[in-house]
Amino acid sequence: MLTSLRLVVFRRSLISFMILQSGLDQEIKFHGFGSGKRGQLGISRDKIKSINLPQVTCGLEDVQIVSISANGDHSVAISADGHLYTWGRGFTGAADANLPQLSLSSLRCTKAALGWNHGLLLTGDEEVLMLGGNYHGGLCDLEKMSAVKHRSADSSRATLNEVIGLDGVKVVKIAAGAEHSALVTVDGAIKTWGWGEHGQLGLGKYK
């Protein structure tokens, strides 16, 4: 018996996820529909252009997922114990995945936000890491980009990068636009970076 239904539609994304909770054990299943050309629906090992009826996302059946997010051609989910799952178009340095892949990082994640080519992760230690998107810069001069630290135990999985210029500042909220990012620190400061051609960074300039 169906006891709960929630539809998650992601702005500027070509896919949606339906979250169904049913049965005496309150089992939760994720159903994806929309564009699946890069595997971002997670419903089949084979390539699928698009579907117009919800189908179960595979590989998360025995995982308690507390958060799911999608944008562009990729999707991510976070489990109750803080593990990160990614699928769809691979971030910089990672291959595409048609089914959810468990990140091998030992970090405990609490939230994820996705842009078109990058993602942000908030950890249990209030630290922010980036998935791909190095070319969007950081919170300091671009000449310092070589100082970025990579965290990856497997070259086939997405590489996690520290946000340059944050310098250990604790963060409580994150958000990602198409090609830009924003965060709120524990002290209430708002910081933005990335593509600002149309003024979307709110910094009083267009570059």
CB of 28 closer than 8 Å to CB of 65 = yes
pLDDT digits (tens, 9 = 90+) for 127-150: 999 888 665 666 654 334 333 444
The model carries a pTM of 0.82
107: confidence class by pLDDT, cuts 50, 70, 90: confident
The CA distance from 74 to 70, in Å, is: 6
- Write down the mean pLDDT value for the chain: 81
Strand partners for 65: 79
pLDDT digits (tens, 9 = 90+) for 57-79: 999 988 999 889 888 788 999 99
**Domains, the chain, ordered by start:** 2-194 (2.130.10.30)
Strands laid side by side in the 180-185 sheet: 171-176, 180-185, 190-194
- By C-alpha distance, which of 158, 156, 157, 154 is closest to 133? 158
Tokens linked to 6: 């929630």
